[in-house]
Structure 1
Amino acid sequence: MSMQQGLPQQAHSAQDVRGTIAQRDLVVDLIRTACVVLVVFVHVTMVGVAAGADGIAVTSPLQELPWYVAATWIGQVMPLFFVVGGFASAVGWRSTVARGGGARDFVATRLVRLFRPAIPLFAVLALGLGVATLLGTPPGLLAEVAFGIGSPLWFLAAYGITQCCVPFMVRLHERAPWRTLGALLVLAAAVDGVRFATGTAAVGLLNLGPVWLFAQQLGFLWADGWFARRSRVLLVAVAAAGYGVLVPLTSIGLWAPDMLQDLDPPMLPLAVLAIAQACLVQVVHAPLTRLMRTRAAQGAVFLLGRDGMTIYLWHLPLFIALNGVALLVGVPFPAPGSPTWWATRGVALVVLLAVALGTARALRRFDRPLPRLVPGTDRPAWPVLAVAALCTIGPAFAVMQLHLSFGVALLGALAVPVGVRLLTRTVPTRSTARI
């Protein structure tokens, strides 16, 4: 092909890119990226490493601040993340249906996109924890480090569960959106009530469904344009009412005022927080839209956003590794919580994001989306998808329940690839098979 022949194609490609950008709600990409960066920053400020005569000590300077609990009412962005996920899921589901796909196609595509990046992580964690055990690392220190590294993996289980439910929940949303939201809120309150009445913390795991599905349903409303049709005054009033409800809710001794503490397992206050956050996002949607028209904002969001899942999964292991390397080479560590330590948090964030981006580039082959179905093919039957979902979600759920250990990491290193492999298989459609 000559250069002249190639130029129209290049121009057409550039127009397609600009058209795609124009059609997307870039505020969604901005919020999703900002949530990931904020999570990374919070962890950078929550992990303080000190080396002294008594050995290595790990503290949490952020949690020692007097305003920490109040800050969690703003910094706890996981409800908002699930709202944004609901928006993206609604758009993705409609796209799947428009091209002739169905529930199995959607679920398989979403689970692969979520869990394929986790394959190398579980492998590295199993190898690292195994080697550390063989080298005689003190069990207490190893358990503490493993607990910190594995703490973000709960998200894989929770988000994987909500993604499996999207086709069914969209149908409920289309038939009775408000009754569905109300039922989920009542279920969340009921689960918490049973947990408090019985004193059994494990009961709270049932709220992985109602709480996060409630936030996801709010995302469906966002995709329908419901929030955009409301006045700013109403949205601010609803958000204020949401925060107002949280005050007595977290003051009666059942739910913690620390919104991070209400995360594991998720509890009713997070559903209320999701309402307030969804309303406030719409209040600032117009200025955020103007911000996302700038090339600088688009570049930053696309740079970090396209590798957001890999950054989220790897940031704590990489942060621990970077601290370990710094200790080995003798880098001086300021006292955690000191003014010097706080002054270096911005540098630590930039370095960690840079290393995480480099890791994401090196692992790009594990971030491939599932190819679309070709005519005459379909995703595996529901029993196979159920096994695949168990293989992928199960190890992350085990981390959430049992905390990260060599055995749990090894389970993930073996089971997640099997689940992803099952999800990537295709079978002939019924009509093709019948022929």
Structure 2
Amino acid sequence: MLDTRTRDPRGGPATTRPAGGDATPAGHTARRGLVARINAATPPGRDRAVDALRAFAILGVILGHWLVTVFVPSGDGQLAVTSPLASMPAFAPVSWVLQTLAVFFLVGGYTAAKGHRSGEPYLPWLRRRMARLLRPVPVLLLAWIPATAALWRAGYEPETLRSLVKLVLSPLWFLAVYGALTALTPVIMVVWRRLGVRGAAIPVAATAAIDLARFGLDGPAWLGWATVITGWLVPFYLGIAWANGQATSRRTAVALLGGGAVATAGLIMYAGYPASMVGVPGAAISNLNPPTLAAVAFGIAQAGLALLLRRPLARWMERPRAWAAVALANLSAMTVFLWHQTAMMTITVGAALAAGTLPGLHSVPDTPEWLLARLPWLLAFAAALAGFWALAHRFERGGRKTRS
């Protein structure tokens, strides 16, 4: 009888097991070996909670987009973008859970500050970080050139194509802002050394002033785009404070969570800001595009919650399998982030061309039953994303190991 030898990933001796009486399946053994290798390769001093927060932030954004972005038939075989938030305002609390960009900027500030303090010269440090951030972008853009041509040949008109391409390009604004704040890390660090956590009040006040000019004084709409920097600077700045030993106490985290939540509720109830923390088609004001003071307050609350969860997450990440899953997700986080909209559109458009209108995928999202019909499609989106990840993730790492 043939037998195979399996090396214990913890370093134990090889064991012999019959090929036909597999008590430990080969796949399970391989997974255990991968988990062991990932944990062995992790530096002892790494703050695993930071990676967990980054992974959860990206997961929240992806699930949020998959739930609130819906393509419905608009006539003549065309597709129009809508959202359940437009017809079901009670759906807004979902956006409070899944709009997690502030957590990503909080983690970005933390890692930028840690990297800046490492002693690496500024330009090589910035070049390395920008390469990791931007390397997957050309692959996505190049892939969408033939995809757009194929959709045009399939009969989709320019209006539908613009809607599709806009969703593909929408994640790029995040990369631009994130990259700009990363490049400004030395300047932000100077402000932090002088003002400490109180320095976060500067971008908060700037965002409030811009909102006042836009909504209270009938200022030009383009003025609001300045909040793309001032708004996301707030969690980024708090991440820098976290990296430098401030904003880490339970009292501070509770103050951020409570103060941000109360401010958000007040702005929604008494200042006319939308309840949804993402854009809603047809709405006069979007909290996210560009960020409003309500989005900033909400981000402060999220930062406080993230800091409160830091220690429980760190304990959870001591479990080898949990850490291995988070570590793998972080290795190609930008690839997953950039391709998740393409994965959703591949399933949505492909199904429309092959089978017409399908419940939960192309049906108008105006009833609670729609949500139940939508949930199974998330698995299809995830499968498509896994396929795109398998093809594109290698471009993110560039063939070399990069530090976070």
2:325 alignment partner AA: A
User: What TM-score does the superposition give when structure 1 sets the normalisation length?
Assistant: 0.73
Change (3 A) 1:48 1:184: closer
Matching residue within 244, 255, 259 for 2:262: 244
Report what 1:363 is aligned to: 392
Matching residue within 45, 53, 78 for 1:31: 53
Name stretches of at least 5 consecutive residues in structure 2 with no aligned partner: 1-10, 12-35, 279-285
Residue 339 of structure 1 deviates from its aligned partner by 6.4
Report what 1:215 is aligned to: 235
CA shift digits 1:249-301 (9 cap, x unpaired): 23344533322221111222222222211221222223222222223322322
Residue 340 of structure 1 deviates from its aligned partner by 6.4
Change (3 A) 1:77 1:210: same
Residue 312 of structure 1 deviates from its aligned partner by 0.9
Rounded to whole Å, the distance in 1 between the matches of 2:382 and 2:235 is: 28
Residue 57 of structure 1 deviates from its aligned partner by 4.3
- Percent identity between matched residues is 29
Residue 331 of structure 1 deviates from its aligned partner by 7.6
2:222 alignment partner AA: A
Q: How does 1:33-432 map to 2 (within 5 A)?
A: 33-50=55-72, 55-58=77-80, 59-95=82-118, 97=119, 101-133=120-152, 137-196=156-215, 197-231=217-251, 235-253=253-271, 255-260=273-278, 261-330=286-355, 333-334=358-359, 335-337=363-365, 341-368=370-397
Across the aligned residues of Structure 1 and Structure 2, the Cα RMSD in angstroms comes to 3.1
Rounded to whole Å, the distance in 2 between the matches of 1:280 and 1:343 is: 29
Residue 118 of structure 1 deviates from its aligned partner by 0.4
Residue 62 of structure 1 deviates from its aligned partner by 4.7
Residue 213 of structure 1 deviates from its aligned partner by 1.6
Change (3 A) 1:266 1:214: same
Change (3 A) 1:267 1:52: closer
Report what 1:18 is aligned to: 40
Change (3 A) 1:326 1:131: closer
Change (3 A) 1:342 1:372: closer
Aligned residue pairs: how many?
357
Name stretches of at least 5 consecutive residues in structure 1 with no aligned partner: 1-7, 9-13, 374-435
Rounded to whole Å, the distance in 1 between the matches of 2:272 and 2:75 is: 41
Rounded to whole Å, the distance in 2 between the matches of 1:269 and 1:339 is: 27
- Indicate the SS of the match to 2:276: coil
- Indicate the SS of the match to 1:262: coil
Report what 1:410 is aligned to: none
Change (3 A) 1:369 1:91: farther
CA shift digits 1:207-246 (9 cap, x unpaired): 2222212211100111123233344xx5334422221112
Contact 2:257 2:305 (8 Å CA) reproduced: yes
Contact 2:126 2:183 (8 Å CA) reproduced: yes
- Indicate the SS of the match to 2:117: helix
Contact 1:211 1:266 (8 Å CA) reproduced: yes
Rounded to whole Å, the distance in 2 between the matches of 1:300 and 1:351 is: 20
Q: Which has the higher helix share?
A: 1
Rounded to whole Å, the distance in 2 between the matches of 1:191 and 1:32 is: 29
Change (3 A) 1:272 1:340: closer
Report what 2:33 is aligned to: none
CA shift digits 1:299-333 (9 cap, x unpaired): 32223222211111111112111222223333871
Change (3 A) 1:308 1:183: same
- Indicate the SS of the match to 2:42: helix
Rounded to whole Å, the distance in 2 between the matches of 1:184 and 1:127 is: 42
Contact 2:250 2:308 (8 Å CA) reproduced: no
Contact 1:113 1:370 (8 Å CA) reproduced: no
Rounded to whole Å, the distance in 1 between the matches of 2:138 and 2:198 is: 39
Contact 2:105 2:232 (8 Å CA) reproduced: yes
Contact 2:203 2:230 (8 Å CA) reproduced: yes
Change (3 A) 1:111 1:90: same
Rounded to whole Å, the distance in 2 between the matches of 1:332 and 1:162 is: 43
Rounded to whole Å, the distance in 2 between the matches of 1:210 and 1:53 is: 41
Rounded to whole Å, the distance in 2 between the matches of 1:263 and 1:65 is: 19
Residue 66 of structure 1 deviates from its aligned partner by 3.5
2:53 alignment partner AA: I
Contact 2:346 2:384 (8 Å CA) reproduced: no
Residue 344 of structure 1 deviates from its aligned partner by 4.9
